[in-house]
Amino acid sequence: MPPAEASRGADEPDRGAYAQPTPRLLYVHDDLSDEVAERLGPASPAAALTRSLFALLKRDPERVVVLTLAEQVARVIAQGRHAPFDLALGIGRAGERVAQALHAKTGWFPRVHRLGLTREEDGRGDYHLVSTVPATLAAQLASRLKGFPASASLAVVDDTVFSGLTLRSVLETLPPVVLPRTHGFCLRGVSDSIAAVAKLCPVTVGVAGVGRMLEDVSFINASGLVLRVGIRRRARPPLAFFERPQWIRAWFPGRDREVIAACRRLNALLDSGG
Tell me the mean pLDDT per 10 residues along the chain, length 274: 37 62 97 96 97 96 97 98 98 97 98 96 92 97 94 97 97 96 98 98 98 96 96 94 97 97 97 75
Same domain, 57 and 117: no
Same domain, 62 and 147: no
Give the SS3 label for residue 137.
helix
Same domain, 8 and 77: no
* Claim: this prediction has a pTM higher than 0.95: no
Same domain, 40 and 109: no
Q: Around 217, how many Cα atoms within 13 Å sit in the side-chain half-sphere?
A: 18
Same domain, 51 and 140: no
Q: Which residue among 209, 237, 262 closes a domain?
A: 209
Count of domains for the chain: 2
Q: What are the pLDDT digits (tens) for 136-147?
A: 999 999 999 999
Q: What's the helix, strand, coil split of the chain in %, to 5?
A: 45, 25, 35
Same domain, 153 and 202: yes
Please tell me the predicted confidence (pLDDT) of residue 16.
58
Please tell me the predicted confidence (pLDDT) of residue 13.
41
Which CATH number characterizes residue 192's domain? 3.40.50.2020
Give the SS3 label for residue 161.
strand
Q: Which residue among 188, 209, 230 closes a domain?
A: 209
Same domain, 125 and 140: yes
